[in-house]
Structure 1
Amino acid sequence: MTLRTWNLRAGLVVLAWLVALLGVTVSGGVSGGTAPVGAHWLMIHLLGLGAASNAILIWSWYFTEAVLRLSHTDQRARHAARLIAFNAGALTVVVAYGIVGAQAGGVSAGLWAAIIAGAAVAFGAIAWHSAALAQRVRTALPSRFGPMVHFYVASGVALLIGIGFGATIAGGRLPGDWPDRLAVAHATLNVFGWIGLTVIGTLVTLWPTILRTRMADGVEQAAKRGLPLLCAAVAVIVVGALIGVASVSAIGMAGYAAVLAYVAWSHADEVRRKPPTSFAGLSVLAGVAWLLGALIVGAVAYLTAPDWTAVYDRLNILTTALLGGFLAQVLLGALSYLVPVVLGKKPSATQASMRVLDIAGPARVGAANAGLLVWALPGSGWPHTLSAAVAVLALGSFLPLVVWSAVKATRLLADAPSRPRPTARPGGVVLGSMAAGLAAVVVAAAVGVAVDPAAVGLPGRDGGGSVSATGATTTVHVGIKGMRFTPGRIEVPRGNRLVIELTNTGTQTHDLVLPDGRGTPRLAPGEQATLDAGVIGATEQGWCSLPGHQQMGMVLDIVATGGPAAASTPAAPSTAAPSSTMPGHQLPSGPIDLAADPGPGFVARDPNLPPAPPERTQRYRFEVRDVQRQVAPGVTQTQWPYGIVAADGSYSGGSPGPTLRGKVGDVFEITLVNNASIGHSIDFHAGALAPDGPMRTIEPGQSLVYRFTATRSGAWLYHCSTMPMSLHIANGMFGAVVIDPPDLPPVDHEYLLVQSEMYLGGADGADPAKVADGRRDLVVFNGYANQYDHRPLTAKVGDRVRIWVVDAGPNQVSAFHVVGGQFDTVFKEGAYLLRPGNPESGGSQVLDLLPAQGGFVELTFPEAGHYPFVTHVMSDAEKGAHGIVAVGP
């Protein structure tokens, strides 16, 4: 195989990844950025792990052979094996994670194993590649540019560590803020280590070649000095993440920027002598500028971040700058020069190929960078979307052009006459062409404003009347305290433009939305966002859109003052009306038929309470997900329950959550993983400890470890303590912990019933307004209305039966009663109220529990029959808190 044929076939791999990237980007844009699910993650890894990493593997090997004056063929088989292995591993990781995103349900055991296997194969390929590079530079004859190979070896080492961090994150078992910290370390090693070091080392020789000028004095020396400093800067960023000190990572980021500026400045004379005019030169130059800018912004962002969640979120915001601005432009610019050079049979073919890839080069660069700039700035709506589309079109045009250029280079007749080498464009032409690209973005943004004027605050929500814009702007700073905006009321002169600078000074995630649909993104504690509310013509009200927050009082009154009286624009309805077409819900059009048979396939929640396990330290991994469950015949509701992922990857999650049982002195360690859509927490009443740390709210993707010792017996509740607490409990976020009293005697049957209420019809689960008002639709035992009417509890005449009861609420009391039965033992809130003895000592008919209380009763049944059990709040029994104990002879 000739070198040209080899390069053509290897280049097809890079092209395939770029085509996949373009497909995901376009499909995500067409669907408003929401589909395919996980498009953001796929875009990052199709470009970084796929296209860029393959280009690095291919071209770092090619340049190593070139600068060391080695044969391009003597190790080709091994090089091909490494490429095949790496792509197999990378493809496995991308596909497995793509399935995870599509399922939106966390990483199952099978998919996690696939991710780890793919990462291991990619790890092995990179390790082999790096070791082979090190061996070649060590054994080769001295060469002027041989030290540049050290950049490739160092970048490979960085990626190996980055892969390790990525595999650790995929496991999903990290406590506290470790997921965010490892994600920052992972991204640092991959972007600034693997990609950044490779780019900086390659440009030592490639940049003057692209410009067709001699290398400036001092370039090699600057690169040699810069390599250890760049590696040290990457190490400082990673160490800062591992020790949890964001300011250390900020210092590393600033140090990397300083070294990059030093190395880049050594090339200044080359640019002065031969300014870039081609697409290749302009694209590479723009890419390096984006990297330097992103580093400076990132250093400031890290330094001012309140916690590691904010650090990671701010790094995520830089994705457009780092991957679109830096990586994509450097990659496409370099390939635009390299592809013609390695594929051309003759100089004429190379020159013809270069001309194709340079078609409208400055205009494409201008459009790409202007569009990327708008894309990277805060905001949303059609102006952003169309500007981003222009950037994608400008960058994506490389794909058809590179195919055309490759075809032209390979088919051009060997005896075709040579044409003059492409000449540099005059500076005026370059600037004019780039201005044309910028104009394309301006036009696209203008069309976006015409389609969606609200995206830029034009004009005025004025209650249907007319309002003249004053031209003045009112800027208001708004904070958050608890479940309130501070201030909660702002006044704006009628006709003024309102800009709200919202800082989340609270302790959990919030946002602010307005009646016309504009709003901020969801902000973690410490994050900020600016909301341009446009020209104000009427009094209106904004609110936090997270479930239940508006009902808790998170509203912002915007009062228009001056001028004629303005009509009030009401806030959007707090909940959606019950509807059978609501996503995740199935509600009957009329009254719920609680007597309906749930069907032969119905499986009731197992009410049997197993004995306490022998282990004195019990460890559990609870995972929160958004799930859809049937809660009554023909009624499906979205819930947020605690669940457990089994070894086979299956998820068991429902309300109540997993039941824990132990003895006094047992230690419980629960790792809580939030794979739901909003922040959640957990509070175990069975443990006594300061709530600040273990009961804190964790955002999606985070985890924490909750450890407590059971020092007192009782039937204890656990639940989510994130505000509004009533809504989270009503959405199924509760469970029971049973700590046996000392010397608890054995019985023939032991059951657990957890009573709770359901409030149907909310857009994301329970209806917040109904919860706040106490307008319950169902009251149930163990999560399903009347389920033990259809699947009764069982006993025999004379059997001693113990029934544990916990009232999860969130609002209603329980008056547990067994019709036809009498309790001879009552244990409530840690104490016996009644124990068997002399028949004259009396008995009990009801175990009365307030929300969050628990206990147990014992009884025997005198004869065979069906004994209903209910809460004696009879209206609640008629809403589903009803079951049967079937007693046989």
Structure 2
Amino acid sequence: MTANPPSGASNPFDATDDSPKEQRLKRAAWHRKASKPVSVWIGILILFSFIHWMFPNYRWLLIHMFTLGVVTNSIMLWSQHFTEKFLHNHIEDSERAWQLRRFWILNAGIVTTITGQFLETWWARHWIVTCVGATLVGCSLAYHAFYLGRQYLGAKKGRRFAPSVLAYVASAACLPFGALMGGFMSVPMSSPWQERLKLAHVAVNVLGFVGFAAVGSLALLFATVWRAQSGKDRMAHVVAFMGVGVLTAATGALLGFGVVVGIGLAFYLAGVLIASASWAHTVRLVAQDPRDRVTFAAMSVAAAAVWLFGALAVFTYRAFTAPDVTAITLPTMALLIGFAAQLLAGVMSYLLPSNIGGGPAATRTGMIVMDRAGLFRFALVNLGLAIWLYTQDSWLRVVSSLLSMGSLAMVFFLIPFSAKAQLGVIRKQREALELPAKPKWGQLTAACAVVALVLAASGGLGTTGTKSATTTSNVATTGQTTEVSVEMQDMRFSPDTITVPTGNALTVNVTNTDTMVHDLTFANGATSGRLQPGESATVEVGVIGQDLEGWCSIAGHRQQGMVIHVTAEGASSGSASDMSTMSGSPGSSTSETVTAADKLNQDNFVDPRLQPASSETVHKVTLDISEIDVPIADGVSRGRWTFNGGVQGPTLRGKVGDTFEVTLVNNGSIPHSIDFHAGMVSPDSVMRSINPGESLQYTFRAEHAGAWLYHCGTMPVSMHIAAGMFGAVIIDPPNLAKVDHEYLIVQSEVYGLSSTKDNPVDSTLLQAGTPSATVFNGIENQYVAKPIEMNAGETARFWLVNAGPNLSESFHIIGTQFHTTYKEGAYLLKDAEDQGGSQALDLLAAQGGFVEAAFPEAGTYTMVNHQFIDAERGAKGKIVVK
């Protein structure tokens, strides 16, 4: 595997470098020093990935360790490297020193930026540090753009790849603006400006900075890595189209015009397609004579281009179809892993041996080592990523991501072995390796076999697809098929009634034109699987012999009217839609009894103690949505939809005037949302439902004191709240009295005591308004099993929120009275004024407040919902006073 391309193709590497040997050695020494930050950041990224769960902002940190640490250093290094090659520049030694200083300034800025985000949990003004770091990063790349531009202007005219240098200049010029936007994003900012700025930040950094550099390099690298002729170079046109695209998309994002963003992305995609004509020409040539040219490096750069096309097409579609600009989401994994990371891995597999050089035999040896199990790794990278993006199965997502990321990471483990082998040939300490005669296609087969085993072990992809059913009754078949198209829109099927001649087979072509995930499941078992917005499937329902019903099996959707009826024309009466056997609709559980206190699994208990409000005025929190099964007791599991994995969401606390910046991340399998009663914001964007894998920013200012509810607002809201998607925000009233203890008690209802994460709520009980349990802080009787403890003579404040979704609450503590009661932002009684006292605080669903009580004597006091049927269903607890 020599570094030399065929005759007629340009090569920027060692074999055609006619500069003096001493100059090449100095350049190589500079290159080794400048590349060290890339290796360091890769090491940090790998280490951090093992402990990322310890940090609340780990997604931002992981993404920016890769994009800033690895990608930015790589782009600055290789853009300088190729600028010299393309322009045949001679760089003085004195300038090399300043080039290295530029890298130190860049990495000082990266470290400062990441440090600022590390501090966000502990310091409200952390954004100052982040902005300083972003400024350093921006300044280093601004100077880099100036330096590359000066080289371009000073070079001889007519160099073939000079337009690629313009792409590098455009790339470097984008990052200062992107860094500036990133710095501003760390400053407290209300919606929708946060979302607009984020979209513009993505357009400038990912499409501009990364995209220009990648496409500019591939003008030469694509053909060089494939070791074949390139097609006609149109890089000047490419840069023009991409430049217009980035500028238009960023402007549209900032102004809030989704269509303008889409137009910009369409221009950008057109520029990439122009560039791809040359790449397609190269691949066609190799396909005619593949011999030893189909390698990990070659296949990776080609696959990266495919992922880029696909991600841009999806991004453009979302821009044109999103209800507003804040709803436009980036296909992050496709761009970062499929395109950027894979391109970097493929290019490094080729460039690192080429830059070590040492002649064709040595370079060939290094590249052969870098290509160990190359096609096997390539297939696992792309198949694993495709499965991860496609499936909703959490176990399969974990395994497929490990396959993909692990195969990419192998590049970095092979680097030292490649360098050692190559240097061994140079020093005549070992024999050079010989190229294989043809591609090792068997490695692709092996990779497919591994993926097939993984899919078999997990029961298949578990998402979209088709499923046919057998004949629905013993009826003579006509041999004919009725084919119908059905759309899912606004929680309805359209049409919602289908008439089929008895004996005909029914085929339903279903398309999800809604903004959330749905499926179509028939009573006979035929199903479409879950369909993301815009996806379609064909369902072979089977031969129709009697009336049949279908529905969306996602919890709650059927109850909202997502039902479709199939009428068998000419059939006798009868239906295959018995309510007791409906998928996703558990039967009545009225015979269930709540779990005894001594049988409960205490691992899931919620500590009711409430910490004081911090001195910070800006509170940042990430709410991760997940759908889990919670072991309530031995043999009893309860499905919960959760914020941050608890039986209820985390508690937020602050003061009037504080700002709350909430990042909502949907790691579940269906759409979810968030509604904070503590804020006054337009619900149009921040309270919208987001699909699995998406996130949104929700910023609000606490204008008024009180005990506030937050909850998922996705329809049916009652089901999402009953499934556990609620929490409390405590905003202290001014001059709040001091007490010895503060506790938070959130009442909610449970419908169905034994359930699964796919169907966490018994919809029959929910619709009847008959809960199986009424609970404090998510689990019945937990404070009977583990009482609250305090000392005699102490005073306690009990903050109360009634999450509902349906029933009221009358909070009472047996054995004491309340000297202070506060409800819905106002004191009903304060410090027993006029010698008054209170025995209970009544709260309807979604109301909140607090009570204060003294416990002068030792004993066991019981807190209850004095609507005693609810206390008997679990809304009670003990307070042990010593």
Instruction: Give your verdict on TM over 0.5.
Output: yes
Distance 1:443 1:533, change over 3 A: farther
Equivalent position of 2:144 in the other structure: 130
Distance 1:755 1:12, change over 3 A: closer
Q: Match for 1:876 among 862, 870, 881?
A: 870
Tell me by how many angstroms 1:159 deviates: 2.9
Equivalent position of 1:412 in the other structure: 425
In the aligned structure 1, how far is the partner of 2:207 from the partner of 2:471?
Answer: 51
Q: Match for 2:512 among 487, 502, 505?
A: 502
Q: Match for 1:156 among 151, 172, 186?
A: 172
Distance 1:499 1:413, change over 3 A: same
Tell me by how many angstroms 1:501 deviates: 1.6
Equivalent position of 1:299 in the other structure: 316
Say whether the 8 Å CA contact 1:607–1:753 is kept in structure 2: no
In the aligned structure 2, how far is the partner of 1:826 from the partner of 1:24?
Answer: 48
Equivalent position of 1:648 in the other structure: none
Corresponding position: 1:253 with 2:291: no
In the aligned structure 1, how far is the partner of 2:738 from the partner of 2:368?
Answer: 88
Superposed counterparts of 1:557-596, under 5 Å: 570-572=581-583, 591-593=596-598
In the aligned structure 1, how far is the partner of 2:782 from the partner of 2:717?
Answer: 26
In the aligned structure 1, how far is the partner of 2:855 from the partner of 2:58?
Answer: 60
Superposed counterparts of 1:353-752, under 5 Å: 406-407=419-420, 409-412=422-425, 460-462=468-470, 474=483, 476-482=485-491, 485-486=493-494, 498-504=508-514, 523=532, 527-533=533-539, 536=542, 543-546=552-555, 548-549=556-557, 570-572=581-583, 591-593=596-598, 604-605=608-609, 624=623, 657=651, 673-675=663-665, 677=667, 679-682=672-675, 684=677, 701-706=695-700, 721-730=713-722, 731=724, 733=726, 735=728
Equivalent position of 2:89 in the other structure: 69
Which is higher, the Rg of structure 1 or of structure 2?
1
- Bigger drift between 395-404 and 48-57 goes to 395-404
Distance 1:48 1:512, change over 3 A: farther
Distance 1:774 1:186, change over 3 A: same
Tell me by how many angstroms 1:204 deviates: 5.1
SS at match of 2:328: helix
Distance 1:724 1:281, change over 3 A: closer
User: Which consecutive residues of structure 2, in runs of 5 or more, have no partner in the other structure?
Assistant: 1-24
SS at match of 1:702: strand
Equivalent position of 1:198 in the other structure: 213
Corresponding position: 1:312 with 2:306: no
Equivalent position of 2:806 in the other structure: 811
Distance 1:471 1:655, change over 3 A: same
Tell me by how many angstroms 1:529 deviates: 2.1
In the aligned structure 1, how far is the partner of 2:826 from the partner of 2:411?
Answer: 76
Q: Give the residue type in structure 1 aligned to 2:210.
A: I
SS at match of 1:130: helix
In the aligned structure 2, how far is the partner of 1:10 from the partner of 1:390?
Answer: 31
Distance 1:629 1:604, change over 3 A: farther
User: Which consecutive residues of structure 1, in runs of 5 or more, have no partner in the other structure?
Assistant: 28-33, 101-105, 579-586, 644-650
- 1:566-597 deviation per Cα after TM superposition (whole angstroms, max 9, x unaligned): 9779444557999xxxxxxxx99952259x99
In the aligned structure 1, how far is the partner of 2:169 from the partner of 2:631?
Answer: 58
SS at match of 2:674: coil
Q: Match for 2:254 among 228, 239, 242?
A: 242
Tell me by how many angstroms 1:155 deviates: 1.0
Distance 1:158 1:376, change over 3 A: farther
Q: Give the residue type in structure 2 aligned to 1:503.
A: T
Identity of aligned residues (%): 27
Equivalent position of 1:775 in the other structure: 771
In the aligned structure 2, how far is the partner of 1:576 from the partner of 1:631?
Answer: 21
User: What is the aligned length?
Assistant: 814
In the aligned structure 2, how far is the partner of 1:790 from the partner of 1:446?
Answer: 51
Tell me by how many angstroms 1:411 deviates: 3.1
In the aligned structure 2, how far is the partner of 1:703 from the partner of 1:38?
Answer: 13
Say whether the 8 Å CA contact 1:93–1:119 is kept in structure 2: yes
SS at match of 1:811: coil
Say whether the 8 Å CA contact 1:656–1:782 is kept in structure 2: no
Say whether the 8 Å CA contact 1:237–1:248 is kept in structure 2: yes
Say whether the 8 Å CA contact 1:52–1:331 is kept in structure 2: no
Corresponding position: 1:188 with 2:203: yes
Q: Give the residue type in structure 2 aligned to 1:592.
A: A
Corresponding position: 1:344 with 2:357: yes
In the aligned structure 1, how far is the partner of 2:522 from the partner of 2:844?
Answer: 39
Say whether the 8 Å CA contact 2:773–2:874 is kept in structure 1: no
Q: CA RMSD in A?
A: 7.3
- 1:811-868 deviation per Cα after TM superposition (whole angstroms, max 9, x unaligned): 33445567688999999999999999999xx999776665456789999999999986
In the aligned structure 2, how far is the partner of 1:243 from the partner of 1:383?
Answer: 40
Distance 1:591 1:159, change over 3 A: same
Tell me by how many angstroms 1:422 deviates: 10
Q: Give the residue type in structure 1 aligned to 2:535.
A: A
SS at match of 1:501: strand
Q: Give the residue type in structure 2 aligned to 1:477.
A: V
SS at match of 1:704: strand
Say whether the 8 Å CA contact 2:623–2:665 is kept in structure 1: yes
In the aligned structure 1, how far is the partner of 2:725 from the partner of 2:319?
Answer: 37
SS at match of 1:252: helix
In the aligned structure 1, how far is the partner of 2:754 from the partner of 2:842?
Answer: 30
Tell me by how many angstroms 1:227 deviates: 3.7
Superposed counterparts of 1:750-829, under 5 Å: 756-759=747-750, 760-764=753-757, 767-769=760-762, 771-772=766-767, 773-780=769-776, 790-791=787-788, 808-815=803-810
In the aligned structure 2, how far is the partner of 1:747 from the partner of 1:414?
Answer: 78
- Bigger drift between 254-263 and 327-336 goes to 327-336
Say whether the 8 Å CA contact 2:381–2:407 is kept in structure 1: no
Q: Give the residue type in structure 2 aligned to 1:302.
A: A
- Bigger drift between 38-47 and 810-819 goes to 38-47
In the aligned structure 2, how far is the partner of 1:865 from the partner of 1:385?
Answer: 50
SS at match of 1:812: coil
